[in-house]
Amino acid sequence: MDAPERDSAETRRRLLHVATEDVAHDLLIDVAGHPEGAPSEKELDWMNPDVSRRTIGRRLAELVDADVLEKLSYEPGQQPDDAESNVRTFYRFTTRARELFDDVGLFDPDAWRPVYARVEKPDDVRAAENAPRP
């Protein structure tokens, strides 16, 4: 195996390792299931009540650092005026991670979106879910 193939295999192994850690795995299921494919941290906090907000924040940062997720943010004052929520930061799969997960059959949106949609959400979480993404 030459160097580029080893790097690709090592990158794939690293991404899969990070994505299958318990809390990260649950967060990534929620990303896959989200109707926009880009939930806010507020939504992820609500969807994972047994995990502390601090742990969720740490895992999201780790997933961004590992190039599994990318962070989408509005600058202060740039969010659309018609937004019903003040959330400004959202998370979605990177292209590299989405391609890998499609290859190995992980986090299929078609499988997880119906599950996510069935979850009853309070008004503030529903507003965050419906907020426009950057």
- The answer for residues whose C-beta is within 8 angstroms of residue 26's C-beta and 6 or more apart is 48, 51
Cβ 30 vs Cβ 48: under 8 Å: yes
CATH of the domain at 124: 1.10.10.10
Query: What domain range is 83 assigned to?
Result: 3-130
**Average pLDDT value for residue range 84-108:** 91
Count of domains forming the chain: 1
Q: How confident is the model at residue 7 (pLDDT cuts 50, 70, 90)?
A: low
CA end-to-end distance (rounded Å), the chain? 40
Report d(CA 82, CA 24) in Å as an integer: 32
**What pTM was estimated for this model as a whole?**
0.86
Q: Could you read off the pLDDT of 25-45 as tens digits, one per residue?
A: 999 999 999 999 999 999 999
Report d(CA 57, CA 54) in Å as an integer: 5
